A and B are shown apart, each in its own frame.
Chain A
């Protein structure tokens, strides 16, 4: 990254770390068939952030302390996960419906609080809306440190528990039979995803974080059937998307970083979709031509 200014280096490093962590977390979500949980989680952070701001201001703070806002985001996300589980049981609806319900209601609450905050005397400077669409350009060295802590913690947890998580992802009932704590492992997966979502709020915002979670993971899934290959591959694709998107966005004015990262990841996904060795469209087309040729 020689030749880039310091700011871009910081943003690129932070988004690469986040992309890597999101790739790993996304694999777990994808294999558990809960890809859209990332979306519900992301949207559920908004009321948490807004409420944290209001609490902080009410207690005499400025409301801009990042740790307070991120703690609020975490509380919102965890409340969202609990709400999904409760609604799924209580209203007897599918996973997807419960996620859509939580997403709509929580984001609505967040919007209502946000309009209130923005109408208050100091509120328009609070910059809370940058959490929705992300504002990577404003990342500084402390954000890089936070991103690296989250990324390291996620990767370390996943590496430590690889065997258990693999079992959970591929054969949940067997995992339960041999006495693995399936509920706790599930909760751990959601916790890892929550950490990544919160760390990614500033970079890509709470709507696009879903893309960072599932695009690298799905692309990697197209290329391999092995869990041990899937995780590092997804992490690499996520990291490359982070760096690539940041570089593209810094190459011209008027290119916001978050969307650039997502579109870079989407481009990688498209490449995987077409060229993946066995499940790619090209490979499958040629395979079916061989099979279907008249004898």
Chain B
């Protein structure tokens, strides 16, 4: 457990947060456009760019490295796009071919120059965000890490581009065909997005490593996508998730991991941030308000409970029709068998009906209240109208209509019941009350014809 020193840890977090903000803009577009692996391709393809820049310039000047890497990143996206188009190769395969070949070339080149300069391929992969604060430039009296400056510049560039081309980019992200029809120059917009992605990858990989760039670009945007359907929402959400991931990940690397598994040694911050982002995404998948697992399970549970409740009401109404009285335990047994639901669900459904004042227990006998009787009648009415409809209109055999009607009765509202009653009322003999295929009268529902 090491206490954080703000001159070091503060800058590490700032650099992580800055790369999150810079990555959010192109990341949102890549996720929405479903071309996320472009980030992976660019981040691997920069290796030969760096090596060639070194071979040509003979120095480790960061400017040359940056230019070489950016050129390689742009080349990789263009090459894989044209390979996919002209050789008609699956776009994923084209991407994979280009970036692995470039990565192999980069490895080979780096080994050639390794005895002259310290270019370490693993540095490109993992980055060394821990060392980034050491490489600083004096500006206006304060030491600012070069990585923070570069990332800040790229962040401003990305945000500026997003503001200038907002309408076009948004249209292109969701409907490229319409964008082309309206003359939004989708090719140019596509290049702007890929250019942003390449510049951001290159700016970020030096400090946080190429794999973290992929994680930073894609995971926050995918997480934000769970909370928003608007492009602006996805971008801002991605920034927030990325910043939270940077802070939390650095804390995991320096405080949690040393305390738990590593016996006092810090884990890699970049790696921990990437893994933390993955964990954050899992949390988002669970708690997302509209698509989250919790919400979906809750919906399903509420629906199951509602159906069980309605089945219990219908059951009691039918028992009443036959003049049979049952106690709560018998009702539960009938419900379990009739609706094929577990005992605890039947118990919960009946308890809820009693609490809502739809069912009352007089002595030991379960009875519908006035309110419950109205609802039970509506349900049975729906059920029997559907049975008539299924048999007469769809020619389904008499002994097969019950189970389908059991399903349909739960999604039938009063307007639908009226329509069904009008349809079927016109078919048969008007002097008789409507009767279902099993000869039972369709109950009248108050307020409905």
Binding site for B on A (CB under 8 A): 30, 33-36, 38-39, 43, 54, 87, 90-94, 96-97, 99-116, 119-120, 129, 132-133, 207-208, 210-211, 214-215, 217-218, 221-222, 254-256, 258-260, 262-263, 266, 269, 273, 279, 281
Contacts and interface: CB of A to CB of B under 8 A. Distances in A.
Given A91-B285, A113-B267, A100 B214 contact: yes
A210 B285 contact: no
Interface of B: 31, 34-37, 39-40, 44, 83, 86-90, 92-93, 95-97, 100-101, 103-105, 107-108, 111-112, 121-122, 125-126, 209, 211-212, 214-219, 222-223, 225-226, 253, 257, 261-263, 265-268, 270-275, 277-279, 281, 284-285, 291, 293
A256 B108 contact: yes
Contacts of B83: 273
Nearest to B93: A35
Nearest to A83: B278
Given A97-B222, A218-B97, 15 more contacts: A36-B92, A38-B96, A91-B225, A93-B34, A96-B37, A97-B36, A104-B218, A105-B215, A111-B209, A111-B268, A111-B271, A207-B44, A207-B103, A263-B108, A279-B88
A263 B96 contact: no
B204 to A, nearest CB: 12
A110 B281 contact: no
A111 B211 contact: yes
A210 B216 CA distance: 22
B161 to A, nearest CB: 22
Contacts of B265: 116, 119-120
Contacts of A94: 34, 36
B125 A106 contact: no
Contacts of B263: 120
A96 B36 contact: yes
17 contacts: A36-B92, A43-B211, A91-B285, A93-B31, A94-B34, A96-B92, A100-B214, A101-B281, A103-B40, A104-B219, A120-B265, A129-B122, A207-B125, A208-B104, A214-B96, A218-B93, A281-B87
Contact of A100 (B40, B86, B101): B40
A293 B273 CA distance: 59
A256 B107 contact: yes
A108 B272 contact: yes
B122 A210 contact: no
B222 A91 contact: yes
A184 to B, nearest CB: 24
A107 B211 contact: yes
A22 B87 CA distance: 22
A143 B217 CA distance: 38
B267 A97 contact: no
Q: From DSSP, what is the main secondary structure of chain A's interface residues?
A: helix
Given A91-B281, A266-B101, A111 B34 contact: no
B93 A256 contact: no
Given A36-B92, A97-B31, A281-B86, A104 B126 contact: no
Contacts of A222: 87, 89
Contact of B93 (A30, A107, A110, A262): A30
A131 to B, nearest CB: 12
Given A92-B291, A101-B222, A104-B219, A111 B281 contact: no
A262 B101 contact: yes
Contacts of A215: 97, 100-101
Name the residue among A133, A255, A258 with the largest chain B CB count within 10 angstroms.
Answer: A133
A106 B214 CA distance: 11
B40 A90 contact: no
Contacts of A36: 37, 40, 92-93, 95-96
Nearest 8 A-B pairs (CB), nearest first? Answer: A108-B274, A105-B278, A104-B215, A111-B271, A112-B271, A211-B100, A262-B104, A109-B275
Contacts of A111: 125-126, 209, 211, 268, 270-271, 274
